[in-house]
Amino acid sequence: MHDVLYVTSEMYPFSKTGGLGDVMGALPPAVHAKGVRTAVITPFYGRMNLAGHKLRLVYSDLHVGYPWPSTTAEIYQTDYDGISVYFVSRGEYFDRRHYYNTHNGDYFDNCERFIFFCKAVLKWARLLPSAPTVIHSHDWQSSLVPPYLYFDREHDSFWKNTRTVTTIHNLAFQGRFSERLFHESGLPAEAWSMHGAEFYGDLNMLKASIAYSDAVTTVSPSYAQEILGPEFGCGLEGFLNAQTHKLYGILNGADYAVWDPSEDKFLPCCYSADNVQGKQECKKSMLSDFYMSEQLVDKPVLGFIGRLRDQKGIDLLIDILPRLMEKEVGVIVLGEGDLGYEARLLEFMEEYPGRFCVQVGYTEDLAHGIQAGADIFLMPSRYEPCGLTQIYALRFGTPPVATAVGGLRDTITPYPDEGATGFTFAEPDGDLFYDAVIQAVDLWHDRPEWEKMVKRAMLKEFTWNRSAGEYIKLYQSLGARV
Ligand code: ADP
Ligand code: GLC
């Protein structure tokens, strides 16, 4: 029996390319801890991290019937943090080196892979003794579940009490494919409309999900507003303006069981708001891990962690880096993404040995090491639906410098406001970013003031318990008895 079934293409610690994975590793257990029975279903990737988890095969021959009449899936189950996690397995779709794309672009069959996933989810859920009260799907990869269910509900009373929720983690990724794939998807002809799955002659999977879900959420209140305008609406603003009666913004939380320097298994030395001394040890160890000059130990070191994409404003950092290097600071970047940005950053490493370092790639231990070891966290995003790394940075006592946009606006109190926890600048512009960084560096030199800001940042709480409560209220407002 599951009250809420979460459908997602990533879940930490099993799979993750970014914040979606972190959210799905934390939200379902947090909702469960409030007395609502939850489960998660996600693809079985060949590259998944299954360390310490025992898998059980629950269906060996689940009939999916897509793309061929005879196509089947296997379903596995494991326990995680008190909840059941189900995995949809089909090697030809999910046993690959990457999740969604290589450096050459998206996998050519992404649409087919995730139509298959969505169909398998519903075929499996249809075999449960009773239907979940809420099915909550996330991002475009899971987004055909609400439309399929909407149309199934018309003739199958099994689903009559099931409500659907879609969460948009990033509106820029909509799952847009050719009309042919709409016809293959099995959605009824009436869904091919400007009020449904159709978007300028293409299939738009996320739009279909928005159209046919009972409620739609984004991951911060600011982003829920921003996507109604042309700047952040990614072409869907007109459509979204007609959906505001069911659109909500619920801020993400941070999983402090994973991201808290007072008990962090990745750090050489733990610390807390009451005793921040250990942070200096973490800084020394980070400098040595990244082959940075030891002299930086008493200079401000700035850290960036994220996908090296336009969204994250990595080009703005590239733009101001030569100017920053004229100051007595160090800069560390961890991430991967556009080859052009990676190449430019690697060149900088040769130009500024010991003062600038980029680690192309991503590992959890290095991310934790930078969160703890850096003094100032950089997040010049062009848009940010929520952003988790700045929330982690606050807890690690690493005040962020960020664009005043989306979830960054909702989580950072900017200097010089009362109770400031970081620095923001109005627009994604190199000069404004540079000025904000310099403001942070100047305040860093004013040790008593800086220490007060660090303490305030560390004491800020963005718990999943609060967000989980908001989601439960939303489920209840849809008439779901959870
Ligand atoms: P987004 O989801 O837009 O990438 P968030 O700030 O919400 O940004 O979440 C990022 C999460 O993913 C953090 O846990 C961060 O440490 C991690 N992360 C950052 N860069 C990468 C990367 N290149 N690969 C995998 N995870 C990453
Ligand atoms: C997306 C967004 C990010 C958000 C994350 C988790 O990847 O880019 O802002 O924090 O999803 O919701």
Residue 105, beta-bridge partner list: 102
> What local confidence, expressed as pLDDT, does residue 292 receive?
98
Please indicate whether residue 374, judged by its CB atom, sits closer than 6 Å to ligand 2: no
- Best CA proximity match to 150, nearest among 191, 107, 105: 191
Kindly list the domain boundaries of the chain, sorted by start residue: 4-253+465-477, 261-460
> What local confidence, expressed as pLDDT, does residue 1 receive?
64
> What local confidence, expressed as pLDDT, does residue 17 receive?
95
d(CA 405, CA 294): 35
Residue 369 CA to its chain's centroid (Å): 20
The two three-digit tokens of residue 224, written as one number: 């829920």
d(CA 128, CA 126): 6
One digit per residue, the tens of pLDDT, for the chain of length 482 reads 679 999 999 999 999 999 999 999 999 999 999 999 999 999 999 999 999 999 999 999 999 999 999 999 999 999 999 999 999 999 999 999 999 999 889 999 999 999 999 999 999 999 999 999 999 999 999 999 999 999 999 999 999 999 999 999 999 999 999 999 999 999 999 999 999 999 999 999 999 999 999 999 999 999 999 999 999 999 999 999 999 999 999 999 999 999 999 999 999 999 999 999 999 999 999 999 999 999 999 999 999 999 999 999 999 999 999 999 999 999 999 999 999 999 999 999 999 999 999 999 999 999 999 999 999 999 999 999 999 999 999 999 999 999 999 999 999 999 999 999 999 999 999 999 999 999 999 999 999 999 999 999 999 999 999 999 999 999 999 998 89
For 109, residues 6+ apart whose C-beta sits below 8 A from its C-beta are 93
Buried b (16+ CB within 10 A) or exposed e, 155-164: eeeebeebbb
d(CA 216, CA 82): 27
Long-range contacts formed by 344-350: CB under 8 A, 24+ apart: 344/318, 345/308, 345/314, 345/318, 348/318, 348/321
Please indicate whether residue 167, judged by its CB atom, sits closer than 6 Å to ligand 2: no
CATH 3.40.50.2300 correct for 4-253+465-477: no
Please indicate whether residue 424, judged by its CB atom, sits closer than 6 Å to ligand 1: no
Computed from CA positions of residues 311, 315, 318, 324, in that sequence, does the dihedral angle turn out positive or negative? negative
Beta carbons of 45 and 99 less than 8 angstroms apart: yes
> What local confidence, expressed as pLDDT, does residue 2 receive?
76
> What local confidence, expressed as pLDDT, does residue 480 receive?
84
* Cα 170 to middle of ligand 2, angstroms: 6
Smallest CA separation from ligand 2 atom 11, residue: 169
Computed from CA positions of residues 111, 113, 115, 118, in that sequence, does the dihedral angle turn out positive or negative? negative
Smallest CA separation from ligand 1 atom 18, residue: 18
Strand bridging mode 247-249 / 176-177: unpaired
* Cα 21 to middle of ligand 1, angstroms: 9
Please indicate whether residue 19, judged by its CB atom, sits closer than 6 Å to ligand 1: yes
* Strands, sheet with 56-63, edge to edge from the N-terminal-most edge strand: 56-63, 72-80, 83-89, 38-43, 4-7, 134-138, 163-168, 215-218, 247-249
Which atom of ligand 2 lies closest to the CA of 381? Answer: 9
Q: Which of 170, 314, 383 to mutate to test the pocket of ligand 2 (most atoms within 8 A of CB)?
A: 170
> What local confidence, expressed as pLDDT, does residue 8 receive?
99
Residue with tokens 């689940």: 62
Residue with tokens 């952040």: 232
Which atom of ligand 1 lies closest to the CA of 252? Answer: 7
d(CA 96, CA 89): 12
| pTM of the predicted model as reported, rounded to 2 decimal places | 0.97
Smallest CA separation from ligand 1 atom 4, residue: 18
Beta carbons of 16 and 53 less than 8 angstroms apart: no
- SS3 of the chain: helix, strand, coil, percent, to 5: 40, 20, 40
Class of the CATH-defined domain 261-460: alpha beta
Q: Which of 137, 169, 173, 394 to mutate to test the pocket of ligand 2 (most atoms within 8 A of CB)?
A: 169
Q: Where are the beta strands (DSSP E) in 185-338?
A: 198-199, 202-204, 215-218, 247-249, 301-305, 330-335
Please indicate whether residue 391, judged by its CB atom, sits closer than 6 Å to ligand 2: no
Shared fold status for 4-253+465-477 and 261-460: yes
Strand bridging mode 72-80 / 56-63: antiparallel
Give the relative orientation of helices 339-351 and 314-324 as an angle to the nearest 10 degrees: 10
* Cα 343 to middle of ligand 1, angstroms: 20
* Cα 393 to middle of ligand 1, angstroms: 13
